[in-house]
Amino acid sequence: MYNILIYLYLLGVAIYSLFDEKVRKMWRGERAAFGVLKEKVDQQAEYVWFHAASLGEFEQGRPLMEQLRRDHPEYKILLTFFSPSGYEVRKNYEGADIICYLPLDTPFNALRFLRLVKPVMAFFIKYEFWYNYLHILRHRKVPVYSVSSIFRPGQVFFRWYGYQYARVLRCFTHFYVQNEESRRLLGDIGISCATVVGDTRFDRVLQIKEAAKQLPIAEAFSAGHKVFVAGSSWPPDEEVFIRFFNEHRDWKIIIAPHVIGEDHLTQILSKLKMQAVRYTETSPEEAAEAGCLIINCFGLLSSIYRYGCVAYVGGGFGVGIHNVLEAAVWDMPVIFGPNNKRFQEAQGLLAVGGGFEIDGEVAFDELMNRFSSDADFLDSSGVKAGTFVKGQAGATGKVLEAVGL
């Protein structure tokens, strides 16, 4: 049944690629992967294979790849992606020797792929459970590890109708899971090879903090002021927070929208009642006089957070919040919308008092008024957020030590 569904999916992707650019990139990339491997695989080398579905999973796997490369240069690294949003952004990543798409999980593709690469071990990051690849790896006695994985009761593996597919989990040598619930759920279906180590994203955001850029425009803008940083914001988020800052000019505001298309930027500017400048079109002197700095380019958000006193992370009024850890690592409280229940890091911040959920303008205004009037509350909330991140670090070392690397 699984293979029938995979072939139907393959047909659907081929058809949909005629109409959608993102799907077309994935379709072409998967078909080109075998050519990339034939050209680049060194048959005399030993490869460690890392597979990440997309960019978020790549960031979770990145600390493992970089420590492995540093400590064990005798291995080469193969990095594969499923989604264009991961591959297109990181196709030139220097921490891997070969980077390509993962061909779709048909029996033929899996056999051909593994005959070309012959990995000595494999790491699947978080949510990757490809039936044919995993069964062939198991048959060949290649160690396969699931890293930063997290399981929930509603997943197919734990439903009565998912018993057959759950057998794919037995192909893993070991699971390095994020929390105790995941370990318990696996145990309930007879899988005991699981250890709670946490999430490698905590290690990654600490790395990012150490490598953060100095941004003269943001420094000039923020100097001597309380600054609110909104990261990865969407229009529903902006409806909640912009009005407050139009009325409270004792704060400055930095907005780094998730979508930086001209239509969205124009929409943001239409809501603001203060002088606003775009990052790529201003100078430090001009930025210092503005009330709002709009980040109209990619790649700066993790460094921008350092200039804030309070952070807001968008997506919570839509499909789900974005990365709260990149903000919390800078010792500042993090605000987000109500769609955060699936995000363990957000739940952790809420539990320690470093994160704050708001459900609309009234709750946002009340919280910001307290941050404005109570400096001790603002400072202590930020310390709690930063302490939470630091306290959760270390998963990378635990995983590599456990697998003998």
Give residue-wise pLDDT tens across range 204-232. 999 999 999 899 999 999 999 999 999 99
pLDDT value of position 49: 98
pLDDT confidence of residue 14: 61
The confidence score (pLDDT) of residue 87 equals 87
Q: What is the pLDDT of residue 127?
A: 81
Q: Which two tokens stand for residue 167?
A: 């057998």
Closest listed residue to residue 130, CA positions, set 101, 153, 159, 158: 101
Pairing between β-strand 355-357 and β-strand 334-336 as defined by DSSP bridges: parallel
**Distance separating alpha carbons of residues 162 and 272, to the nearest angstrom:** 50
- Quote the pLDDT of residue 7: 61
Low-confidence ranges of the chain (pLDDT < 70): 3, 7, 9-14, 16-18, 23, 26-27, 29
Asked whether 338 and 320 are in contact (CB, 8 A), the reply is no
Q: What is the Cα–Cα distance from 64 to 396, expressed in whole angstroms?
A: 6
Give me the pLDDT at residue 27, please: 62
How many other CB atoms are found less than 10 A from the CB of residue 401?
A: 10
pLDDT of residue 13: 58
pLDDT digits (tens, 9 = 90+) for 115-164: 999 999 999 999 888 999 999 999 999 999 999 999 999 888 998 888 88
80: Cα within 13 Å, side-chain hemisphere? 29
Task: Say how many residues make up the chain.
Answer: 405
Give the model's pLDDT for residue 231.
Answer: 96
Residues 6+ apart with CB under 8 A from 245: 228, 251, 253, 274, 291, 292
CA dihedral 143, 146, 151, 156 (to 10 degrees): -60
Amino acid in position 183: R
Tell me the pTM.
0.84
Three-state secondary structure readout of 261-289: CHHHHHHHHHHCCCCEEEHHHCCHHHHHH
Tell me, what's the pLDDT at 23? 67
pLDDT for res 42 = 94
Gap between the Cα atoms of 352 and 340, Å rounded: 15
Q: Which of 392, 243, 231, 384 is nearest to 321 (CA)?
A: 231
Strand partners, 98: 78
